[in-house]
A and B are shown apart, each in its own frame.
Chain A
Amino acid sequence: MIGQSRVAELETPGAAIEGASTRPAQSYWNESWERLRANRIGMAAGVLILLFALIAILAPLFSLLLTHFQPQTIDLSATFGTPGSPHLLGTDELGRDTLTRLIWGGRVTLGVAFLTVAMSLTVGAGVGLVAGYYGGWLEDVLMRLVDMVLAIPAVFLFILMSILFRPNAITLAMIIAFVGWGNVARLVRGEVLSVKQRDFILATRSIGARDLRLMVKHLLPNVLPVMIVAASLGVGQIILVEAALDFLGLGIQPPTPSWGNMLSNSESYFFHSIYLVIIPGVTIFVTVLASNLFGNAARDAFDPRLK
């Protein structure tokens, strides 16, 4: 019907010009990305995180070219230096360059954070999709399992794990992911439940699509926004957890620098150099803040109800 009238309009001379104007249709994704891009603070935050990640990955390069120091290089003649040249951010109690340690520490902290998020999302989304899609007893069982995992008091688990075996970055990521995937699973399942109601799922099934195809090709893209938001916010939260663990001595052990363990000694040496207390803390703060801002921006961009 509508197509017919469009043709009719074109045939009548002049109708197309003075005819009714229509807004161009936009897909949900495009609209969301546009909204995200329009949010300048959020985009700046996202760029900042990527920048930090890049610097962390290229740590050896920065060591070589920028700071000219290695993170473990001890120089007892230059302890507690104030920011300046050659130590751009000063030195710690063993004369190690703070900026270098900060960059290498970022490697550890950000590495753990991204790895954890990747693992949490994979496992959590998988479980959430299956549970939400199939429903019934499978959903019940899986969700009980999720409840169980989430009910484990995380902090104590960390303590337990850390004394059982001194964790390295990868095992630490695994531990934190183990505790956290449950939240992702709940989130994804919730989204799946609401998407499942929509008619296009029924329609797709009625043309004979298989379960896996439905889950991956149709449900997953709709669930993706929630996951993106969870991932962005998650990075920040995990950085805080990881830093706290390191600070308590349960995570990455010195002398390997991480933002958390750079702070554990600083209290004792506060009188000698306040920068030791401030700099790693501010770095954590800025990074987590950026992750939160980006996550909020993503949430605002993808949530159709907030229009």
Chain B
Amino acid sequence: MLVKYIARRFFASVIVLLGVTLITLVLMDRTRGTYVPGIDLNPSLRPEDIARLRADLGLDRPFYLWYLTWLWGALHGDFGRSMIDGSTVMSHILDRLPNTLELTGTAILIGLVISVPVGVIGALRRGSKTDHGLTVISVAGFAVPQFWMGLLLILVFSVTLEQHGLPWLPSSGAYSAVNGGDFLDRLQHLVLPATVLSFFYVSVWSRFIRSSMLEVLSQDYIRTARAKGMSERRVVYLHGLRNALIPLVTLIGLELPGLVSGGLVVEVVFGWPGIGKLAFERALQYDYTTVMGVTFFAAVLVIAGNLLADVLYGVLDPRIRYG
């Protein structure tokens, strides 16, 4: 049962992945026609040099050939080389990936730790002042632009504090270039960007958990549980929460792509050397192979995230497992 379910989802995912890459490359195709590698470095290239460079990079081949060649390479993890510095795209990705994972992983963790209790409390004390207060904070948090929040935090905790001679938090990078790299140093650098990122998660997830809990608590089996004479705590946590968390798992699984793309703005604002920032910088420099590689990677993560969410859902909900 479960195996069939997973297999079906996997197959669908593959199709989706192919589709995504196709769409993305179609869009990318527009640069291909006019891009001249190295034009920034040497504006006085002769036409024949240009033609040679383009031919080397295979920029003149018909689209389907280009797409298939690229796809073949991609499936082997070969995204070609950066057009700027010549090193492989994959090495760039692997270089930056851990940083991104560090940041978003931490943010998701903090998000979970805070939003589950907040959501549960909001559901249990529905309508009370506590609930209203928490709701206000959640709704507000959902409306704050991430880049603005980052900006403000930097201005307050980095710039202003430093100005006044108080201990301040670093505003960019994952670790200090000089004498840095140890755990405490990394932690210091992590604080501000992780706060900004997790703020968003907490706002969304706590509302979600609250409404999921409310729905679960109105179910008949909760009434049955109470009729069996168990304590309210047992009813809520053992019988209620277990059901309420199932949809959350799906939500988090869908956040997986956010691991890469969601953090992009935060990475740029805080100069965090992750994949998002990589894509952003390289895009501005027209390094399309790198951008393509990162995009593909992100698309794989999106699809993997969906698949993971579906699988987890299937595992946690016995109705699907033994359906």
Contact flag (A, B; Cβ within 8 A) = yes
Binding site for B on A (CB under 8 A): 144-145, 147-157, 159-164, 236, 240, 243-244, 247-249, 263, 266-267, 270, 277, 281, 284-286, 288-289, 291-293, 296, 305
Q: Across the interface, which residues of A come within 8 angstroms of B65, CB to CB?
A: none
B151 touches A153 (CB 8 A): no
Report, nearest first, the 9 A-B pairs whose CB atoms are least far apart: A153-B298, A148-B19, A288-B143, A289-B143, A281-B148, A155-B261, A156-B295, A159-B283, A153-B261
B contact residues vs A (CB 8 Å cutoff): 12, 15-17, 19-20, 23-24, 27-28, 30-31, 139-140, 142-148, 151-152, 154-155, 159, 215, 257, 260-262, 264-265, 268, 276, 279-280, 283-284, 286, 291, 294-295, 298-299, 301-303, 306
> Nearest chain B CB to A65's CB is how many angstroms away?
30
Minimal Cβ-Cβ distance residue in A for B155 = A270
Docked Cα-Cα span, A240 to B286, in Å, equals 26
A153-B145 contact given A144-B16, A244-B265, A267-B151, CB 8 Å threshold: no
Once bound together, how far apart are the Cα atoms of A151 and B20, in whole Å?
7
The residue in B143, B261, B303 that gathers the most chain A C-beta atoms within 10 A of its C-beta is: B143
Closest B residue to A281 by beta carbon equals B148
A281 vs B280: C-alpha distance in the bound complex, in angstroms?
A: 23
Known contacts A164-B27, A244-B147, A285-B144, A153 near B295 by CB under 8 Å? yes
Please give, as numbers and ranges, the residues of chain A lying within 8 Å of B15 by CB-CB distance.
144
Can you identify 19 A-B contacts, CB atoms within 8 angstroms?
A144-B12, A147-B16, A153-B260, A153-B295, A153-B302, A154-B261, A155-B265, A236-B142, A243-B148, A244-B146, A244-B265, A249-B284, A267-B154, A267-B155, A270-B155, A270-B159, A281-B145, A284-B145, A285-B143
Query: Which residues on the B side are within 8 Å of A266 (C-beta)?
Result: 151
**Inter-chain contact total with CB atoms closer than 8 Å:** 133
In whole angstroms, what is the CA distance A150 to B299 when docked?
10
Please indicate the chain A residues that have their CB under 8 angstroms from the CB of B30 in the complex.
164
Residue numbers in B under 8 Å from A153 (CB-CB): 257, 260-261, 295, 298-299, 301-302
B299 cross-chain contacts in A, Cβ below 8 A: 151-153
How far in angstroms is the closest Cβ of chain B from A166? 13
Interface pair A156/B279, CB less than 8 Å apart: yes
**Structural contact, A163 and B148, CB atoms closer than 8 A:** no
By a CB distance below 8 angstroms, the chain A residues around B142 are 236, 288, 292
Contact B291 A160 (CB under 8 A): yes
Shortest B154–chain A CB gap in Å is 8
Q: Tell me if A151 and B17 are in contact (CB < 8 A).
A: yes
B28 close to A156 (CB less than 8 A): no
Whole-angstrom distance between the Cβ of B12 and the nearest chain A Cβ: 7
Closest Cβ neighbor of B298 among chain A residues? A153
For B260, what are the chain A residues with a Cβ–Cβ distance below 8 Å? Answer: 153
B252 to chain A, nearest CB (A): 17
Residue of chain A at shortest CB distance from B218: A305
Query: B31 is contacted by which of A156, A164, A288, A291 (Cβ under 8 Å)?
Result: A164
Taking the nearest CB of chain A, how far is it from the CB of B271, in angstroms? 12
Q: State whether B16 touches A151 (Cβ < 8 A).
A: yes
Q: Which of the residues A149, A151, A154 comes within 8 Å of B303, measured between beta carbons?
A: A151
- Decide yes or no: A152 and B23 within 8 Å by CB, A147-B16, A244-B265, A281-B145 being known contacts: yes
Residue of B nearest to A145 (CB): B19
B31 contact set on A, CB distance < 8 A: 163-164
A151 CA to B306 CA, complexed, in Å = 9
CA distance A161 to B283 in the complex (A): 10
Closest Cβ–Cβ distance, residue B312 to chain A (whole Å): 18
Q: In whole angstroms, how far apart are the Cα atoms of A296 and B19 in the complex?
A: 34
Distance between Cα atoms of A243 and B145 in the complex (Å) = 8
| Chain A residues whose C-beta falls within 8 Å of the C-beta of B286 in the assembled complex | 163
Q: Knowing A160-B283, A270-B159, A277-B151 touch, does A155 contact B145 (C-beta < 8 A)?
A: no
Task: Give which listed residue, B19, B27, B306, contacts A160 with CB less than 8 A.
Answer: B27
